[in-house]
Structure 1
């Protein structure tokens, strides 16, 4: 008899895939687990040990028509995009492909990333008919606005009522600006209109929609939601429904050094010697840098390197696509080691300080390793600014300003984070709290997921 199957319908990005891997590993004991998403990530997911169902389509209602036509080289570009929005091309293609997925995989449960909430509108007509259970996965803090709570992309702290109001207004204006631009450009057919049209045509019950403002997609409710972080890392006083479940910060085992690159293994041995001699390893990872942020990110890295001059530290930098811009200039610097990527969990096992862009997965991994943080957010649309506030609010480290902080500011932040014992103490306290979240609790949530009706 075949085992029940769970399908993770993931948004395109490692930051959305990686936190689902520990869950899939737990589920694999009793379920057949398959990830489904854009074909680009197939090799990455398979190399991580999981099955993958590649999709050729993208979610509808997220403003992706222009990007799809650019990739497919359809001209005239504007006219194709205009027609696609009015005739619902992305929905039609998505519905056809997801129906094929259901026929091929016959899932018992689908766990959908909240960033592609429009897929629920595609799947809803099939879920009850086929008896498929459904849940929503939040790889990041939930993005829908909640009265009195700082948005995920703001620097406002809890208790700052005026700052929170301004932040809410800013998010709403950003959303309205995007939608009005689409209305003007596409003769009234903005993303919100596309989504509302499909809600009507697919007869989706209104009780599934919360009505809360969200920058992309549609805010859902009355569906079991798995929030992939400990509740204690979020802000206090956030209301949760019985169908919202904090899963904690479950992790896979760290990548063994033997599985990493030969150069990393050599550098790791040298770093261990430096640490034994009394130096501190500072690890800096800036995540994926978009072209519009590359300039000030490079300037920040230069100031960071200058800030450790003559200090008893060694700096390990994971710079992704920016690594080649620095590798030659700092090749002879015996205190600075530059990589495009490193096994982060392994580095955190011996680092004394983590300088991060503020991705929630990196923050969770730093907590699990007991390493204080300096957070320098890059992205202002998504969650890093709000994550930086979470780190500072809970006393897990400091937040900085990537654009404005001087060499002296960065050096001061490093010194403070390394010498003030409160940061490590609070990290360790939260670490103990996080470890109270167990795989069995997660499995209990999975068993609660139901067919949406």
Structure 2
């Protein structure tokens, strides 16, 4: 059996992707070690994994707390500058730490841009795991930090190329640090951004029906979600306060969740509906910060998301990929309010497949949100499309399929072709 290392970010959405995969590999008698920053240690140990800190503690300013979106150019620039600093720290410290553990292969979180270079330096086979929407660049589709909709027209492709060019310019500090280390370590230079992805296998948890039409390499695999494959830590919730009315569940995730005006808009937009609104603050704010929300919704610091989605008729979400896939897994349509990262791209896909609508942060007000909620609740097509995708998700192999791909890649060290 192999010793498999997992190099990943410590954010909740990433760990919720990685842990089920690690647990399945453990079930198959592989040894699993998590390599991440110290924030992940307690959760990794509690989940039963070996853990090694790569010695980097991100500052809390990495959390997007300003009233911006990733479409804001200064915010994109700041985020990528921070990623460059993180990449340099990992490239300095991670190889020695990983080498000490004698792992046989690495699973690299896509958001660890330099992970493939670390694996190449250590001469380890690696598989790319897409904890977020894959940013595999393709001029046929808009970049994932935008809410651009798919359009095959020539002018749309020119628009996409221009947007990728701008993003790559902003990301130049990251790519330059990676290029410097590849030269220092006498590794072949990357010829394009897509070279950071594994040449053995790329795994994403969404499904092709939730992706824009595009060309992807033959070793790119859609496996379906992992979230049902591992038990989550129990979350206390006052189920006795549910009143039996159709449930609307609202959450802005666990990182970009400090936008008080967003929660006020959600509450005000739902006040006239014959539904019960449950708002999960994701730990960013305390329920006491919202004593007088319109309609008196049930507000909690954390919520058992899967249990509430099972009861929900609508999910108001930040369009994080984890929450979106969980919502579709329960056939629940959505109204998305994307904030940053890949959330705009996920929101665009929610609208494209007809499973919901989105309202950008810049256009968010009570009226715009009311209109979107009313459409999704009253037009049957949204629910029908959510259920259609639910059925497709339930046909996927999920974490079992992903583990099969990883085992084949690790054992053969050859591309695993669909």
Please state which band the TM-score falls in when normalised by the shorter chain.
0.7 to 0.9
Q: Secondary structure at the match of 2:278?
A: strand
1:170 corresponds, among 146, 163, 179, to: 163
Q: Secondary structure at the match of 1:116?
A: coil
Contact 1:57 1:90 in 2 (8 A): no
Partners of 2:235 and 2:110 lie apart in 1 by 32
Q: Secondary structure at the match of 2:218?
A: coil
Q: C-alpha displacement at 1:55, in angstroms?
A: 2.1
- Go from structure 1 to structure 2 and tell me whether the alpha carbon gap of 1:299 and 1:178 turns closer, same or farther (over 3 Å shift): same
- After TM superposition, the score normalised by the length of structure 1 is 0.77
Contact 1:155 1:385 in 2 (8 A): yes
- Equivalence for 1:16: 14
Alignment partner of 1:103 is 2:100: yes
Partners of 1:58 and 1:329 lie apart in 2 by 34
Q: C-alpha displacement at 1:32, in angstroms?
A: 1.8
Map of 1:38-437 to 2, 5 A cutoff? 38-57=37-56, 94-104=91-101, 106-127=102-123, 132-159=124-151, 161=153, 162-177=155-170, 179=172, 190-206=173-189, 209=190, 211-212=192-193, 219-220=196-197, 222-236=199-213, 238-252=214-228, 259-261=234-236, 264=237, 266=238, 268-271=239-242, 274-275=243-244, 279-290=245-256, 294=258, 297-324=259-286, 327-330=289-292, 335-379=296-340, 382-437=341-396
Partners of 2:129 and 2:208 lie apart in 1 by 15
Q: C-alpha displacement at 1:119, in angstroms?
A: 2.9
Please tell me whether Structure 1 or Structure 2 has the larger radius of gyration of its CA atoms: 1
Contact 1:318 1:339 in 2 (8 A): yes
- Go from structure 1 to structure 2 and tell me whether the alpha carbon gap of 1:399 and 1:289 turns closer, same or farther (over 3 Å shift): same
Contact 1:8 1:111 in 2 (8 A): yes
Contact 1:255 1:346 in 2 (8 A): no
Query: Higher relative contact order by CA 8 Å / sep ≥ 6: 1 or 2?
Result: 2
Post-superposition Cα deviations, 1:264-311, rounded to whole Å, max 9, x if no partner, equal 1x2x1221xx22xxx211111112455xx85xx322321221122232
Q: Secondary structure at the match of 2:285?
A: helix
Q: C-alpha displacement at 1:167, in angstroms?
A: 4.2
Structure 1 segments unaligned to the other structure (5+ residues): 68-87, 180-189
Partners of 1:93 and 1:363 lie apart in 2 by 30
Q: Secondary structure at the match of 1:143?
A: coil
Q: C-alpha displacement at 1:112, in angstroms?
A: 0.8
- Go from structure 1 to structure 2 and tell me whether the alpha carbon gap of 1:442 and 1:367 turns closer, same or farther (over 3 Å shift): same
Partners of 2:35 and 2:304 lie apart in 1 by 25
- After TM superposition, the score normalised by the length of structure 2 is 0.83
Partners of 2:87 and 2:265 lie apart in 1 by 45
Post-superposition Cα deviations, 1:340-378, rounded to whole Å, max 9, x if no partner, equal 211111111111110000100100100111111101111
Partners of 1:338 and 1:255 lie apart in 2 by 24
Aligned length: 387
Contact 1:210 1:220 in 2 (8 A): no
Post-superposition Cα deviations, 1:223-269, rounded to whole Å, max 9, x if no partner, equal 32112222221112x21222211221122368689x322xx1x2x12
Q: Secondary structure at the match of 1:18?
A: helix
Q: C-alpha displacement at 1:321, in angstroms?
A: 4.8
Q: C-alpha displacement at 1:91, in angstroms?
A: 5.1
- Equivalence for 1:37: 36
Q: Secondary structure at the match of 1:323?
A: coil
Contact 1:228 1:248 in 2 (8 A): yes
- Go from structure 1 to structure 2 and tell me whether the alpha carbon gap of 1:177 and 1:205 turns closer, same or farther (over 3 Å shift): closer
Structure 2 segments unaligned to the other structure (5+ residues): 63-84
Q: Secondary structure at the match of 1:412?
A: helix
Partners of 1:392 and 1:89 lie apart in 2 by 34
- Equivalence for 1:85: none
Q: C-alpha displacement at 1:174, in angstroms?
A: 4.1
- Go from structure 1 to structure 2 and tell me whether the alpha carbon gap of 1:152 and 1:345 turns closer, same or farther (over 3 Å shift): same
Contact 1:372 1:423 in 2 (8 A): yes
- Equivalence for 1:77: none
Q: Secondary structure at the match of 1:155?
A: coil
Tell me which moved more, 167-176 or 135-144.
167-176
- Go from structure 1 to structure 2 and tell me whether the alpha carbon gap of 1:100 and 1:328 turns closer, same or farther (over 3 Å shift): closer
- Go from structure 1 to structure 2 and tell me whether the alpha carbon gap of 1:211 and 1:139 turns closer, same or farther (over 3 Å shift): same
- Go from structure 1 to structure 2 and tell me whether the alpha carbon gap of 1:194 and 1:93 turns closer, same or farther (over 3 Å shift): closer
